[in-house]
Structures are given as structure tokens and as C-alpha cells.
Amino acid sequence: MSTFAPPVQRLVTELSKLPGVGNRTAQRLAFHILRASNEDALGLADAIREVKERIGLCEICFNLADEPRCRICQDERRDRGLICVVEEPGDVIPIERTHEYHGVYHVLGGALSPIDGIEPEDLKIEQLYARVTAGEPTVREVVLATNPTTTGEATALHIAGELRSRAPSLTVSRLASGLPVGADLEYADEVTLGKALTGRRSL
């Protein structure tokens, strides 16, 4: 039997469903919300409701958007001949923060994982092929920026193979993997160091 009143227990239960939030953290968050002013607590509730009601997927790249097209697809200054493929909308943010990328995006909505039942038709892969082969505007390069995990690598290999057969003149690239800036070699694991050696470039 719960020691909390039912509304408090319901809040703790719902908060504990969030990623990275265990029961103890959920309890702390629940008590923080209870201590907060009505304005702050209801502001949080309104923000959650608004994001669920107003946010959908961009009709072109499937990034999060509150209009038919996301802000990036609406930006005329972006290079539409360059598409960066990512797994989730959250992956766009760190790439944008670099200020090094000026193309557009394509969000797959996950990674291939047959063991979990996630097949190509469950992701926005066909839509990527349609964008590349449409020819308006001409896509020069697709950068595969899926995560450097087993599923991310499998997804990148699958897409690269299909793109090469459908658009032979297209450049297909993969984000480089390797040593983080400022890292010491002695602390690098074998896989990371191996990736750095494989992806070495001339100076």
C-alpha cells in the first residue's frame, strides 16, 4: 500500500516513466512540483499539453515542427543538395550546435533492429530515397549520421547500399568516428582507437 495520497502516487508513477528517472528521483520531482507555486506547476502542465497538441513531424524531413515544415526546411539559406540523416529529432540539435553544417536533415525515427522488430518499412527510409531520386533540387551528398552503435551502423550500411544502387552518382558519407579532442591515447578503448586509425586523413 502506498504511503502517498493517490494523486501524489499517480504523479510519482507518471514521472518515473521518463527516461533516466527512477522511483527516488520521481518522488523528489513530485515534491518539488508540490512545493512550486500554482503558476509554475500549471505552467509545466500547460507546456506538456501544448507540445502534445501542437508539435508534429515536418512533411519533408520528419523533424519536429509546429507547422507543416520545420524551421530548417523553411530556411532558404540551407543547402538542399546536402542531406544529413539522423535517427531521432534530438540528434539534429548537437549537429546544429557545431555551426559547421549548412545542409538539411532527414530524421529516420529510429534505427534498424530486426531483433526488436524494427524493419526498413518502420522507418522513414523510403521517404529518403524519394527525396534523393526526385531530382528537384538535385541532392549531391547524403551524410549518414546514425549513432555509432550496432543498430546505427547496420542502418547506415543498409541505407548506403540502397543509395548506391538507386543513385550511383551520389556521394554517400559517414560521420567520422575516433578520438575526442583533448583525449589521451592511453585512455582510449581499442574500438575507438581502431576507428580513429581507419578514418585517418592526410594533413
The mean pLDDT of 48-54, rounded to a whole number, is 95
**Any idea which of 122-126, 140-144, 147-151, 186-190 has the lowest mean pLDDT?**
186-190
Predicted confidence (pLDDT) per residue in 156-198, tens digit:
999 999 999 999 999 999 988 887 778 787 887 888 888 888 8
Mean pLDDT taken over the chain: 92
Domains in the chain, ordered, with CATH? 1-39 (1.10.8.420), 89-174 (3.40.1360.10)
17-27: pLDDT as tens digits: 999 999 999 99
Alpha-carbon gap, residue 193 to 196, rounded angstroms: 5
Q: Is the pLDDT score of 148 beyond 70?
A: yes
For 19, phi and psi rounded to 5 degrees?
-65, 135
Phi, psi of 172 (to 5 degrees): -115, 120
What percent of the chain clears pLDDT 70, i.e. is strictly above it?
Answer: 99
End-to-end CA distance of the chain, in Å? 66
